[in-house]
Structure 1
Amino acid sequence: MPLTLAPAAPPGPEPAVRPVPRQPRAAGAVRLDVRGEGARSRVARFRAEGAMRALFPARPDEAALEAILVNTAGGLTSGDRLFVTAGAGPGAALTLTTQAAERAYRAPDGPARVRTALSAAAGSRLDWLPQELILYDGARLDRRLEIDLAPGARLLAVEPVILGRAAMGEVLRGFALSDRVTVRRGGAPLWIDATDLTAAALDRPAALAGLRAYAALIYVAPDAEAQLAPIRDGLPEAGPAIGGASLIAADTLVLRLLAEDGFALRRALLPVLDRLTRDTLPRSWRL
């Protein structure tokens, strides 16, 4: 019996190509205001949203209020948006730090963005002491820090950065960091520091010359000039880390450190922070 083949069915429409869904992005914000009450500092206003949290460890022996910022997303990648707004009122003392080093991971779809706006009223003290920012291969980060000081306010601010973890053999072949720090006093610029860094610049003599960690620090206080000589005496001049400090105003000290890795950077930075905080550096730095 001859075999009869049924005619093939006409081709149907091409199946729709479904776009790959974007990964959910982290967004978070913290707003904190602190007021002075006699010899103590208290929370006047606090709000945390999304991926940002803040912890307030008890420190009965200290006049300053300490807040530990936490990014619950565990790091930064494309599309992440974090905001921190904090202020120290008249007579208040506020110390802001982080639970651990912040991590900027591979960001193939554009940069993560971090915005921090701080203020300090007359007679207040503000310490901005985040732990290191660690960049991984492929990271893209746009970060802004703006600090507004009233005349008579004191400030200690540091920004340490590690470009790949040397102990883990990490090599940054591609990344982009756009970093801006602006400090104003009475509305006038006091210090503006801008960094635009890519992997192509890491080994240039005018950039990092092969080093993989750095930190910038500014200290605004009446004793800044008195602190300059002892800090300079303690800075490394060669080896795994080098540093320099200078006065840009009678009460304003600026310091820079370069190091071959995060360990050497922290080893050089901690004595400076201990000195300028009078040995009250947040405990999270010791963990």
Structure 2
Amino acid sequence: MTRARLDDRRTIRRDGVPLHIEHLMLGPATFESAMALGDGRAFATIVLTGPGAEDAGAAVHPCDPVATGVRQETSGWDGRLIVRCMSPDPAALRRVVISAIVALRGADIPRVWQSDRSAEP
């Protein structure tokens, strides 16, 4: 493959009012630019909304980018929590994302994620 484009739009509404709108567009220039993704080959965004979500970030353990190879940033405000992660290693990213999801849910990862249990932390 020599060219790719991803155009993804997500909207989360609360009582019909947009709470989180995200438009992700990646094209050939994005993949060629060190400013856009740097060495990142995989990235993920976790969004949690609801009463107290802004305080749930304490449950998500910050990962050590040197030890895990994953850069992670967490922001919480007004009933929402956003966790963004990026890594040159997709498997390392998956382990960090699974750990964050388990911490936020207080339960095992969703069934759809359980197809490859060997990649869990």
Which TM-score band applies after superposition, normalised by the shorter structure?
Answer: 0.7 to 0.9
Question: Cα distance, 1:203 vs. partner?
Answer: 4.3
* Number of positions where the alignment pairs a residue of Structure 1 with one of Structure 2: 114
Q: Which blocks of at least 5 consecutive residues in structure 2 are unaligned?
A: 116-121
Work out which of the residue numbers 222, 233, 238 in structure 1 matches 2:51.
222
The structure with the greater share of residues assigned to helix is: 2
Aligned AA for 1:286?
Q
CA distance in 2 between partners of 1:212 and 1:260 (Å): 5
Superposed displacement of residue 185, structure 1: 1.4
Deviations 1:238-265 (A, max 9, x none): 452111010131x210111101132011
The 2-side partners of 1:274 and 1:259 are apart by 19
Partner of 1:121: none
Answering whether residue 113 of structure 2 is matched by residue 285 of structure 1, we say yes
| Maintained 8 Å contact 1:203/1:210 | no
What's the CA shift for 1:268? 1.0
Distance 2:112 2:18 in 1: 31
Kindly provide the amino acid, as one letter, of the partner of residue 45 in structure 2.
Answer: A
Which amino acid in structure 2 is aligned with residue 269 of structure 1? V
Assess if the C-alpha contact under 8 Å between 1:203 and 1:211 holds in 2.
Answer: no
Partner of 2:39: 210
**CA–CA distance in 2 between the matches of 1:185 and 1:206?**
34
**Structure 1 counterpart of 2:43, which letter?**
Y
2:88 is matched by which residue type in structure 1? E
| Structure with bigger gyration radius | 1
Contact 2:11-2:22 within 8 A present in 1 as well:
yes
CA gap 1:269/1:252 in 2 versus in 1, 3 angstroms: same
Name the SS of the counterpart of 2:51 in structure 1: coil
Deviations along 1:43-81, one digit per CA (max 9) or x if unpaired, are: xxxxxxxxxxxxxxxxxxxxxxxxxxxxxxxxxxxxxxx
Q: Deviations over 1:4-58 (max 9, x none)?
A: xxxxxxxxxxxxxxxxxxxxxxxxxxxxxxxxxxxxxxxxxxxxxxxxxxxxxxx
Q: 1:275 is matched with which residue: 85, 103, 113? A: 103
Could you list the runs of 4 or more consecutive aligned residues of structure 1 that deviate by over 4 angstroms after TM superposition? none
Task: Give distance in 2, aligned partners of 1:181 and 1:236.
Answer: 29
Q: Distance in 2 between matches of 1:204 and 1:248?
A: 31
Identity over aligned residues, as a percent? 29
Structure 1 unpaired stretches of 5+: 1-136, 138-172
Give the TM-score, by structure 1 length: 0.37
Corresponding residue number in structure 2 for 1:234:
62
2:17 is matched with: 188
Alignment of 1:1-287 (within 5 A): 137=1, 173-231=2-60, 233-238=61-66, 240-249=69-78, 251-287=79-115
Give the superposed CA RMSD. 1.9
Greater strand share, structure number: 1
**1:284 CA drift (Å):** 3.4
SS in 1 for 2:98: helix
**CA distance in 1 between partners of 2:114 and 2:75 (Å):** 27
Task: Give a deviation string over 1:138-181, Cα, whole Å, max 9, x none.
Answer: xxxxxxxxxxxxxxxxxxxxxxxxxxxxxxxxxxx310111111
TM-score w.r.t. length of structure 2:
0.80
Counterpart secondary structure, 1:268: helix
